A and B are shown apart, each in its own frame.
Chain A
Amino acid sequence: DARVTQTPRHKVTEMGQEVTMRCQPILGHNTVFWYRQTMMQGLELLAYFRNRAPLDDSGMPKDRFSAEMPDATLATLKIQPSEPRDSAVYFCASLARDSPTDTQYFGPGTRLTVL
């Protein structure tokens, strides 16, 4: 049963520290999204990749967030330096094709707490 995996599942860190979250999309999927979920804002799109190329990161605070896909099996989201307001659940989702009718498969998420 193919699934999106994310590590770590939980992360507690102190303000100012670097945080790296990893995502392994479903094998063969060519599109990857990063989302942030909070109670107040709901699901916010942070970044979007197709065939490993970044297409849209307009939802990301540029000064501290960065997203990359070093290869087809790994997407990373980094926060440096982290701040308490970054506390949220970060989801990665992958799709077989970059099409509006394709289903997004979400990973289990990384629950980040910044103290």
Chain B
Amino acid sequence: GQQVMQIPQYQHVQEGEDFTTYCNSSTTLSNIQWYKQRPGGHPVFLIQLVKSGEVKKQKRLTFQFGEAKKNSSLHITATQTTDVGTYFCAGPMTGANSKLTFGKGITLSVRP
């Protein structure tokens, strides 16, 4: 079945450093979504990418969808302690409905 992979599962950075993480799908995706879960919280939608090569920015966060629509990246510029949490990518299972396959997520910790 479809797999969405995020490696590594944990990353520690010094506050102020840049951070990049990747998401890879075993199949071509119609779109990819990113969610953030703060410690003790629930996943919250961040962004959706639909077009091949699409780049979207949210303040210090930059999201990109690969040309082949099988991978995506999240880049955070000058990390802050507020960036702490787990970032999940997810892609539709079939493209026909809203079921998503979630990656295992990457948990980011930031040293002040």
B residues in contact with A101, CB < 8 Å: 30-31, 48, 50
Q: Interface residues of B: mostly helix, strand, loop or mixed?
A: loop
Which of A48, A103, A107, A109 is in CB contact (< 8 Å) with B99? A48
Q: Kindly specify which of B15-23, B56-64, B73-81, B90-98 makes contact with the partner chain.
A: B90-98
B residues in contact with A107, CB < 8 Å: 42
Interchain CB contact under 8 A, A98 and B97? yes
Interchain CB contact under 8 A, A43 and B30? no
Q: Identify which of residues 63-115 in chain A touch chain B, using a CB-to-CB cut-off of 8 Å.
A: 91, 93, 95, 97-109
Interchain CB contact under 8 A, B44 and A43? no
Interface size class of B (residues with CB under 8 A): 20 to 34
Flag whether A60 is at the interface (Cβ < 8 A): no
Q: What per-residue 1/0 map shows which CB atoms of B15-51 lie under 8 Å from chain A?
A: 0000000000000001101010000011111001010
B residues in contact with A48, CB < 8 Å: 99
A residues in contact with B85, CB < 8 Å: none
- 28 A-B contact pairs sorted by A residue (CB < 8 Å): A42-B102, A42-B103, A42-B104, A43-B43, A43-B88, A43-B102, A43-B105, A45-B99, A48-B99, A50-B97, A91-B42, A91-B43, A95-B98, A97-B98, A98-B97, A98-B98, A100-B97, A101-B30, A101-B48, A101-B50, A102-B98, A103-B48, A104-B43, A104-B98, A106-B42, A106-B43, A108-B42, A109-B42
